[in-house]
Amino acid sequence: MKQNGDMVTFLRNKDYIMQDNNLGGGAFGKAVLLNAPYIDELFVAKMYKPLYEWTKEKFYANFLDEIKILYKLNHPNIVRIYNYYAYEKQCTGYIIMEYIDGKDIGDFFEEYNKECEEVVTVDEIFVQLINAFTYIEEKGVVHRDIREGNIRVDINGTVKVIDFGIGKILMSSKDICDSLVRYIDREGSDTLPKEYHDGIYTSHTDMFYLAELFNRLLKKITDKEIKPFSYYNILNKMMEKNPKDRYGNFREIKELIEQQNFVEMPISNEDKRIYQEFTNYICESLISYKMEQKFNYNTQNFIYKLESALEENVFEDYIQNNAQIIGGIVTSGYRYRTDIQIPCCVVKDFLVWFKKSTKDYRKLILRNIIVKLSTIKVVFEFDEELPFN
């Protein structure tokens, strides 16, 4: 029997199959794509391997900081970490993390057109980023390296913030000196914030660089049929050079966006009833996620899934397999209860209401469902060989 304070060692190692031995990399390492054959899932392994040998020991602490930060964060718009291997004597190590099937946000905007807008609008991309950085800030973390290569958009339109290699956990409310300022790639930046010249970096600085990046990305869109961006007033204030002229925090921005969206879209009591009745059944059925949370942001695909479920239960009073409904929204692995019965009439009422809604209203509804389902916990599956009992 292990006692408190004893070292607990997992003897069984997981084996992976190399899928792609060169996903790219940067100044501090490289990444490869691995397949875990036991569960048939893809993962990214990031290796700490600086380009210059003399920096290897100097920045090893930042690699360990990234592990600490990623373990601290659990949000659908932030890359998930699943394991790590630190080799302190060699000043190297590996991080096993979520694989994001998509493009970096710069490439995504370069190719953005009407077809892309059907999957995710520029407004929704911005909102997802604000949600991510609101969470990051409230966890006491600053990213410090906001650029195109560190934000990805997957094939379902989900934004993922990655690479916290030079991020920091704030230990107090004081400003932290940006000791890595010369390693942060700001190529193409139109302006620099006051903090840059003062040699400090806070979450207010994250706010500036996020807005500055997004402003440049919007200029890449050439398709004239794309719906105009709705939050320029917010973006411009985030980009003020003096941090005192920006918003107080990301939470303030998030609440302004929500207020703006809901003011423009009238929501009746009947709307709330239909929405809540449908989503409450899903929440009751969904127990937990097996891996990272992944969701379907495509409204047309969501409609198709619900229509298919109703067609396959047309002679029933209740949906026979709740996964038919949950799978319309959740695209990652999950556990669900079979004793909860979802009435077909509830699904049908919701679908009729959803299809009658405008395109923007549909996206708002689906986004709200995803936020609601994001509150359900992730419970990882472990090997059968337990280190203690």
Per residue in 205-241, pLDDT tens? Answer: 999 999 999 999 999 998 888 988 989 999 999 999 9
Alpha-carbon dihedral sign for residues 321, 325, 331, 335: negative
184 vs 283, residue with greater confidence: 283
Alpha-carbon dihedral sign for residues 11, 72, 120, 204: negative
29 φ/ψ sector (left φ>0, alpha ψ -120 to 50, else beta): left
Looking at this protein, which amino acid is placed at residue 377? K
Q: What residue ranges in 53-150 does DSSP mark as E strands?
A: 81-87, 92-98, 102-104, 141-142
Average pLDDT over residues 40-68: 81
pTM of the model: 0.66
**Residue 39 pLDDT level (bands cut at 50, 70, 90):** confident
Three-class DSSP category at 227: coil
Q: Report the Cα–Cα distance between both ends of the chain, in Å, rounded.
A: 8
Cβ proximity of 76 and 370 under 8 Å: yes
Average pLDDT over the chain reads 84
What would the two tokens of residue 328 be? 């319309």
Q: How far apart are CA 340 and CA 284, in angstroms?
A: 7
What would the two tokens of residue 93 be? 């190590």
Cβ within 8 Å of residue 259, ≥6 positions away: none
Three-class DSSP category at 145: coil
* pLDDT tens by residue, 56-107: 887 788 788 778 888 888 899 998 888 888 888 888 888 888 889 999 999 9
The pLDDT of residue 387: 37
Q: Which of 324, 326, 319, 339 is nearest to 289 (CA)?
A: 326
**H-helix or E-strand spanning residue 259:** helix 250-264
**Residue 6 pLDDT level (bands cut at 50, 70, 90):** confident
Cβ proximity of 78 and 292 under 8 Å: no
DSSP 343: B
What would the two tokens of residue 109 be? 């905007």
The pLDDT of residue 172: 43
Cβ within 8 Å of residue 374, ≥6 positions away: 75, 76, 293, 295
Q: What is the DSSP string of 164-220?
A: -TT-EE-SSSS-EE-TTGGGS--TT-S---HHHHHTEE-HHHHHHHHHHHHHHHHTT
Q: How far apart are CA 369 and CA 10, in angstroms?
A: 38
What residue ranges define each of the domains in the chain, with the CATH number in brackets?
17-98 (3.30.200.20), 102-264 (1.10.510.10), 269-373 (no CATH)
The pLDDT of residue 13: 64
Q: How far apart are CA 328 and CA 373, in angstroms?
A: 12
**Residue 245 pLDDT level (bands cut at 50, 70, 90):** very high
Q: Which of 293, 309, 290, 313 is nearest to 301 (CA)?
A: 309
Three-class DSSP category at 224: coil
Q: How far apart are CA 106 and CA 384, in angstroms?
A: 43
Q: How far apart are CA 70 and CA 162, in angstroms?
A: 9
The pLDDT of residue 384: 46
Other CB atoms within 10 Å distance of the CB of residue 35? 16
Nearest 5°: the CA angle 169, 173, 175 is 80
Other CB atoms within 10 Å distance of the CB of residue 19? 14
